[in-house]
Amino acid sequence: MEIKEQVAVLMQGTEYGDEKIKEAMAEELHERLLQAKKEGRPLRIYCGYDPTKADLHLGHTVTMRKLRQFQDMGHEVTFLIGDYTALIGDPSDKDVSRPILTSKEIQENAQTYADQAFRILDKEKTKIRYNSEWLSKLNFSEIIKLAQNFTVQQFLSREKFKLRWEKCDPIYLHETLYAVMQGYDAFSLKADVQVGGTDQFFNIVTAARKVMTSMGAQPNIAICLEILPGTDGSEKMSKSMGNHVPITTTPNDMYGKIMSIPDRSMPIYARLVTRWSPEEIEKIEKSLADDKLHPRDAKMKLAYEVTSAFYGDKEADTAEKDFILKFQENSIPEDIPEFFMSKDANCLDILANARLVDSRSQGRRMVEQNAVKLDGETITDWNSQMKPGVLQVGKRKFVRLTYLEE
């Protein structure tokens, strides 16, 4: 692949909030690729992951998909586990201070992250590093020297810090060190490129490049990727919002969840979580615009691609056939699990106890959104008593309700 083509693929899905910055990053990437080619070496790429949670969803894999693109082009990829930065927790996308994790929790989550990441990354071509390797060795005078590159005003102008300041919520001093630590990560890895979401803009574009320059290193290039919306198409994908697509779910569930996203979300999903080239995406979008491709068919292509990327074509074929059977032919699946209930059980109790929702609050939301049905009839009161029949939640979850024998 020519360098110009590499840049087009690698810049796909990036967002900087300023077209001039995007153009500058693309130009820097082009020049660095030329430089590396002359030196006969691959680019050094990394992305850091703070193991603050044990399970990952599709939104977490956006940066991993970009790392895989670099790998496929022959570049060197490091999967950095932020076991030391996790002691602080990245404040970039939070309007409250993150809870402090124990070392044991961090290590357990880190192992889970690595295992799940290799469903996308090439294990044989991926370096696993921990930032405690260098951050734990910094002495106090070195930390002061690093901190001298930043002003308090720079941190207070950041959106989440500014919001907390205006609300008179506490901003802890240790939180300002996070960006400094991330900058030192980039320096320690001698990174050519750092990958992250747009919420990492300050950490990568400002902090890392400033730290590297101050220490006499060539600053890394920022690949800042758009944030993947959840299945509702509006809010950031989040387990707490119930709009996430777990990567440890079943192929059928993954396919079905992708089919549930709004049509307007298809372009960003195509850019961020598929293996499609810019040309392939442009072709699909043009066919949609010219009415040569129905939005439903385009979404089926998308659902198939995402499912296939995680489970392979065979499982994606089965998931697609299952979806057509259940929803396009309006069929109720034959293998519905049975749930035994008492005669005084209400809707919310059953939703929670049958594990059709992640929490009772999500159960209430599903009822309020008219997403719960009994034998095809929409349930509008989560406190209503239930009778035997087929209970459906959303488009993919079913249980057959039966009374307990007295």
Give me the sign of the Cα torsion angle 343, 346, 350, 353.
negative
Task: Reply yes or no on whether the pLDDT at 72 is more than 50.
Answer: yes
Pairing of strands 397-403, 338-341: parallel
Quickly count helices (H) and strands (E) in the chain: 18, 10
DSSP state of 380: -
Q: How many other C-beta atoms lie within 10 A of the C-beta of residue 233?
A: 16
Q: pLDDT (tens digit, 9 = 90+) per residue, 321-378?
A: 988 887 765 566 667 888 888 888 899 999 999 989 888 888 898 898 888 988 778 8
pLDDT value of position 93: 47
Q: At what angle do helices 295-311 and 313-323 cross, to 10 degrees?
A: 140
Residues ≥6 apart with Cβ < 8 Å to 369: none
Task: Reply yes or no on whether the pLDDT at 104 is more than 50.
Answer: yes
Burial 133-143, CB ≥16 within 10 A → b, else e: ebbeeeeeeee
Among residues 79, 96, 97, 80, which one has the least CA distance to residue 88? 97
DSSP state of 204: I
pLDDT value of position 90: 54
For residue 140, give both structure tokens. 């106090």
Find the range with the poorest average confidence among 67-76, 120-129, 195-204, 368-377.
Answer: 368-377
Report whether 336 contacts 400 (CB < 8 A): yes
Give every strand in the sheet of 193-197, ordered side by side: 126-130, 76-81, 44-49, 193-197, 221-225
pTM of this prediction? 0.76
Residues ≥6 apart with Cβ < 8 Å to 78: 44, 45, 46, 126, 127, 128, 129, 189, 191
Residues ≥6 apart with Cβ < 8 Å to 388: 400, 401, 402, 403
Q: How many other C-beta atoms lie within 10 A of the C-beta of residue 238?
A: 12
- Measured between alpha carbons, how far is 43 from 79 in angstroms, rounded to an integer? 14
- Per DSSP, what are the bridge partners of residue 76? 44
| Mean pLDDT in residue range 183-206 | 94
Q: pLDDT (tens digit, 9 = 90+) per residue, 10-26?
A: 999 999 999 999 999 99
Q: pLDDT (tens digit, 9 = 90+) per residue, 215-255?
A: 999 999 999 999 999 998 888 888 777 888 988 889 999 99
DSSP line for 306-367: HHHHHH-HHHHHHHHHHHIIIIIS-PPPS-PPEEEE-TT-BHHHHHHHTTSSSSHHHHHHHH
Pairing of strands 372-374, 377-378: antiparallel
Give every strand in the sheet of 377-378, ordered side by side: 338-341, 397-403, 389-393, 372-374, 377-378
- Measured between alpha carbons, how far is 60 from 80 in angstroms, rounded to an integer? 14
pLDDT value of position 95: 43
Report whether 192 contacts 10 (CB < 8 A): no
- Measured between alpha carbons, how far is 304 from 276 in angstroms, rounded to an integer? 12
pLDDT value of position 96: 45
Give all strands (DSSP E) within 135-262, no chain letters: 193-197, 221-225
Domains of the chain (ranges, CATH numbers): 3-225 (3.40.50.620), 251-328 (1.10.240.10), 338-403 (3.10.290.10)
Q: Report the amino acid identity of residue 183.
A: G
Mean pLDDT for all residues in the chain:
88
